[in-house]
Structure 1
Amino acid sequence: MPKSATLKVATWNINSVRLRINHVTRLLDEHAPDVLCLQETKCPDDLFPEKAIKAAGYEHIVKSGQKGYHGVAILSRVPLENASVKRFCGKEDCRHIQATAKGVEIHNFYVPAGGDEPDPEVNEKFAHKLQFLDEMADWFGKAKQKTTTPRVVVGDLNVAPLEHDVWSHKQLLKVVSHTPVEVERFEQVLAAHDWIDVPRLFTPADEKLFSWWSYRSKDWAASNRGRRLDHIWASQALDGAAKSVQTLTDARSWEKPSDHAPVIAEFAL
């Protein structure tokens, strides 16, 4: 099958693109996605390390960054069209960017983490997270009514929705990222556009699947107390198109790693 007939998309919370630019270029070299979506770049646009990325063969770059916090970017070896960003919750946080590659509209999100206390009455960060998810659901619900354009959503969505998306369902029910109120909002976003949870097409819901392991664990691999916070969704126009999904767990062991592992999906077009 010619390359033009597939789209390979990767997502990775890189936790500082400048600090881990060698990790970025290693991923591009070893796995050669058509498109890599980064979150938590922590980099203003004028300091983004474009030179190293373009040298790796990824000449098409769109980004939305800010100093020290948040930030998203799309790197591509195929042309990107119709790039834009959307702001949520009346804030200027750089948490979304989109562009079209090979006719597929790609949305890259970094959903707020939500702080430590899962109570919106006392924790402004948690309230922000719930509002962000509500606005995502509303936006995608309206988009569904307008067009059947093939779409993919990727990113650090900061919710582990399923029982086996966390190392212990019972112990994490009151921990931010797996609380029932977050899961409910997350499911509303999924339902608003009839999104397909692509990694769970390949790993059944009753099997553990993680993409994040805390820095606090001395031996993250041995304890394996992970969560699935990084997601890839496809619209119904891509139903049946997903060919494969990989979670690159080994990247969590690279020198000075991100606490997230990259996730890669390939689609037939």
Structure 2
Amino acid sequence: MRIGLLGTGPWAQMAHAPALEQHPEVDFVGVWGRRADAAKELAGRHGARAYDDIDALLAEVDAVAVALPPSVQAELAVRAARAGCHLLLDKPLATTVEQGRAVAGAAADAGVASVVFFTTRFLPETEEWITEQAAAGGWFTAHAQWLGSVFSGGDSPFANSPWRREKGALWDVGPHALSVLLPVLGEVRRVAAAAPGPRDTAHLVLEHTDGASSTLTLSLTAPAEAAGTAVELRGEHGVTRLPTAAPGVVPAFQRAADALITAVRTGRPHPCDAAFALRVTEILAEAEALLEG
């Protein structure tokens, strides 16, 4: 599959570009970025071509991988879908429901495949655990904690991200938590409560249509010593916790590329497609309204 990369920032450098270059079933064609010099540097480092004209890149690839802020991603994903390109997107799909619907609608109208890179869903250990718990069923409640220290004075490459500073943990790590809870506990009936915590921390309570409830604690401003991820389920089968997965965003992103290739070949949507990511956006927008109210 011929894939082009849109974006040149830290995430594109850490995950997208090396994963695409090393993938045996991908022809990493080129890079487009909002800064031409950054696109040239990143493309040169990975044996690809830098493009000044995004439409020229879209015309020469089968798919695009996007590593851009959500609002920019949404706009360009619609443009790419209308050009006939399959979509390998990042979370969150968008930070408004309107933009999310535009992406999902454009993909559906164009008949292109889409995969959204919810990292936890593409790590083998956690993917297997999610599948097993969804099959087991009978869950009563769950608690998810996604605590990052991006804004706690460390040297995170994402600390200067304008959209993260504006939207906070709800939109940055909230999608990760929902990507685990939704396939296990089922659809969310409503966001029952949302309360702010320290700095950008958010606490959510969700009601699921099958009767289960879940709580989420999300932050990008936790102390470095307290940062980490934990998900605990309690139900008919007792208690189980999300296993610790070996870090490795490059292999995970390659698995996401595999998923896109499979979706194109088979015509079967992947569970983490744009429609699923739109539902995540809708839930987060509902929570945001409660937090702001």
- Counting helix residues as a fraction of each chain, which structure ranks higher? 2
**What TM-score do the two structures reach when normalised by structure 2?**
0.34
**What TM-score do the two structures reach when normalised by structure 1?**
0.36
